[in-house]
Chains A and B, each alone.
Chain A
């Protein structure tokens, strides 16, 4: 059923690993670096490798929606950052087919001095639309964000909720083929959140591939066809959402691999 060469696969990770370095002390100022040159050189040699992801192999097919769950620091966000090309991978191979719309942080490119309309257009182009497409989509975006009266005001006058609404409206209207969602939906009021999930559901019916990182296990069960449990940078479990969530909640995998974790709520 899951052939590695299937045409339908839109995201394929093949033994992907990501290494970061932990520096004992960071010396970012030229002055500090030069004054403490011996320490600086030693420090750059003494850096500790930290594997955020280790040999992850995963393929996601067109139209599938996959939930990534796991404790803090498991590598969930790193995985999304690698898929969206924000972080280069250290080892392995990544293949992505289709236009990715990352909902990692809504409205990341908004400039407070510029009005909502221009910000929305620029953001849409940043996310992959052409200028013409962005202008065509604008009425829909404004409509969805419910910000019509404010759209010509500079964004510094917006509340944080308004920021997020415009950001989300842009992100889901850029005709994404692959939508990466990282916890962003936790913000905004209940009404708007519901609207967002309704829209994601609609995209899902239109065969948009969705990768959802969430701590809200109910949402994962509701929206995902498949769940992946990450722990310490490796895939601890994968499969039917209900089962994977149960395994996560049972906590078996966790205590064996992370004995230092204690007293968390």
Chain B
């Protein structure tokens, strides 16, 4: 006979849930502050990176290789409408990979809901993404586009899908990274590869001509396309978004199972 149980009557009451949210918020604020600590330009750096990338790519891909938006949007806008959400995705995964392993001292000494650590990486990156949306809108307005009311519904909706997908993915990566530290390095390379495999620099239609629907095996393909349709053409996500929804569900389920299973062994591995 074997019984293993920990009864803590207070663990599930509402004040605990509220405290977890507060913890997440405080950690998010800390992450954001840390990022700009000692910098003069602060948030401008977060913008400068995708903007500089956009300049480079628009020269190389649009001018030299002649890649175009099939619906005629200027290439820089075409690129940024996908690059901003992608940056949120990529930076979240990359910065959360080591969130358990880098906080070993804390995890070994204080008990708190551990998942808030990788989650705060997602939310602090979300903060940067939210700030970049008005910049994108400004660019669009300058180019003669007019962001429509669809954004009010579409942005939170796509944000929610991407957030949940990230939560699953991040729990998976951060949990495994406790045991196999190589993962945080591997992720860096894979994210670069993933960027090129996702229709960000080029239109989805271009790959679909060549390889067909296999492109939807990339969880980000349909999601990025949905962001682009929304930002450039004020289109709300339609049925085409289903691959992203499937991947979100899969990521959430596997992520939570893996985290729950491995969490008990963190103390030995950290």
Contact = CB atoms under 8 A, between A and B. Distances in A.
A71 interface: no
Nearest to A86: B111
Contact of A81 (B27, B179, B180, B267): B267
B108 interface: yes
B71 to A, nearest CB: 44
A105 B22 CA distance: 23
A84 B8 CA distance: 11
A87 B267 CA distance: 6
Given A87-B267, A91-B4, A122-B27, A104 B182 contact: no
B4 A89 contact: yes
A223 B116 CA distance: 37
B7 A96 contact: yes
B106 A114 contact: no
Interface string B8-32: 1110000100110011011100100
B108 A88 contact: no
A31 interface: yes
B268 interface: yes
A90 interface: yes
A125 B268 CA distance: 25
Nearest to B104: A108
B33 interface: yes
Interface of A: 20-21, 28-31, 33, 81, 84-100, 102, 104-105, 108-109, 111, 113-114, 118, 121-122, 125-131
Interface of B: 2-10, 15, 18-19, 22-23, 25-27, 30, 33-34, 37, 105-106, 108-112, 179-183, 264, 267-269
19 contacts: A28-B179, A28-B180, A28-B269, A81-B267, A86-B111, A92-B3, A92-B4, A93-B3, A94-B6, A95-B6, A96-B8, A98-B10, A99-B10, A105-B105, A108-B105, A125-B23, A125-B26, A130-B15, A131-B25
